[in-house]
């Protein structure tokens, strides 16, 4: 029997191996919690580049982009970790010292947690896709979830479904660790790209017509 490397099955296996390598690199990168932003930026930057050009080497591209994005992502990572820790600590303290006055604070904490979660959802993919200032990236990450709310709900639904599968199914938990993060990023990248197009200006879309696979591909204000 002749072995055909161009067969759909072999191409699928090859793609799985490429995403496995990308997934392993990502998992190793997030072990220090403070590097999660740099790792997410590099992951989405690599996946966005793959959406534009399927011939890139995913593992090598990820390592290159992780090194490039590390400095620009680390400050935002620290801010997200600090804000998340502050909200979590506040909720724990609220639960330990419930009074009539503290019940007023609980809805504020829930709203703050929701805003932080949605901002975190968009911040690093935005950083991966666009060249803009630190301030504008934060501004866009806080505004786009509401401007593309239906797509934001889709992204959060994917996250909830993936978390449920990871927590309650042991076999899928192993598969998720091996390849799940990279496949999840690819699935979500298709939604992110649609959300970005929905809120971008015609000038941004014109600039996006000419791709540069080594750099973010547009400028968003």
pLDDT tens digits, residue range 30-76?
988 888 999 999 999 999 999 888 888 899 999 999 998 888 898 89
pLDDT at 176 over 80: no
**Do the domain assignments include residue 3?**
no
Q: What is the pLDDT of residue 173?
A: 77
DSSP 130: B
With a pLDDT cut of 90, the percent of the chain lying above it is: 44
**Do the domain assignments include residue 216?**
no
Q: What is the pLDDT of residue 199?
A: 85
- Cα dihedral 165, 159, 205, 43 sign: negative
Q: What is the pLDDT of residue 55?
A: 81
CA atoms of 93 and 85, how far apart (whole Å): 12
With a pLDDT cut of 70, the percent of the chain lying above it is: 85
Q: Which has the minimum average pLDDT: 80-84, 108-112, 175-179, 188-192?
A: 175-179
- 171: tokens are 């076999």
**Do the domain assignments include residue 207?**
no
pLDDT at 212 over 50: no
Other CB atoms within 10 A of residue 120 CB: 19
Q: What is the mean pLDDT of the chain?
A: 83
Q: Which residue has the higher pLDDT, 93 or 135?
A: 135
**Secondary structure class of 218 (helix, strand, coil):** strand
The count of structural domains within the chain is 1
**Do the domain assignments include residue 206?**
no
Q: Judge if pTM exceeds 0.95.
A: no
Q: Which domain holds residue 12?
A: 8-199
Q: What is the pLDDT of residue 15?
A: 81
> Averaged over 158-169, what is the pLDDT?
86
- 17: tokens are 């191996």
Looking up tokens 């993919």 gives 125
pLDDT tens digits, residue range 14-23?
888 888 999 9
Per-residue buried b or exposed e for 88-118, using 16+ beta carbons within 10 Å of the residue's own CB = eebbeeeeeeeeeeeeeeeeebeeebeebeb
> Averaged over 141-164, what is the pLDDT?
92
- 123: tokens are 């911040």
Beta bridge partners of 67: none
pLDDT tens digits, residue range 75-112?
899 999 999 999 999 888 877 776 666 677 778 888 99
Alpha-carbon Rg for the chain, nearest whole angstrom, is 19
Q: What is the pLDDT of residue 116?
A: 94
* Cβ 49 vs Cβ 18: under 8 Å: no
């Amino acid at each position: 029997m002749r072995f055909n490397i161009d067969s759909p099955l072999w191409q699928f296996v090859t793609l799985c191996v490429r995403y496995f390598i990308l997934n392993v690199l990502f998992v190793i990168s997030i072990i220090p919690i403070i590097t999660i932003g740099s790792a997410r930026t590099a992951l989405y930057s690599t996946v966005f580049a793959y959406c534009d050009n399927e011939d890139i080497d995913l593992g090598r591209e990820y390592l290159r982009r992780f090194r490039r994005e590390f400095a620009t992502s680390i400050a935002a990572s620290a801010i997200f970790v600090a804000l998340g820790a502050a909200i979590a600590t506040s909720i724990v303290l609220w639960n330990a010292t419930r009074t009539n006055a503290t019940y007023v604070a609980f809805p504020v904490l829930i709203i703050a947690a929701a805003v932080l979660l949605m901002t975190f959802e968009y911040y690093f993919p935005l950083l991966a896709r666009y060249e803009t200032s630190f301030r504008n990236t934060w501004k866009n990450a806080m505004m786009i979830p509401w401007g593309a709310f239906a797509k934001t709900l889709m992204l959060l639904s994917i996250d909830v479904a993936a978390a449920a599968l990871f927590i309650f199914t042991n076999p899928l938990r192993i598969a998720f660790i091996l390849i799940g993060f990279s496949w999840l990023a690819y699935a979500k990248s298709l939604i992110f790209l649609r959300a970005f197009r929905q809120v971008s200006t015609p000038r941004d879309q014109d600039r996006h017509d000419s791709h540069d696979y080594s750099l973010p591909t547009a400028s968003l204000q």
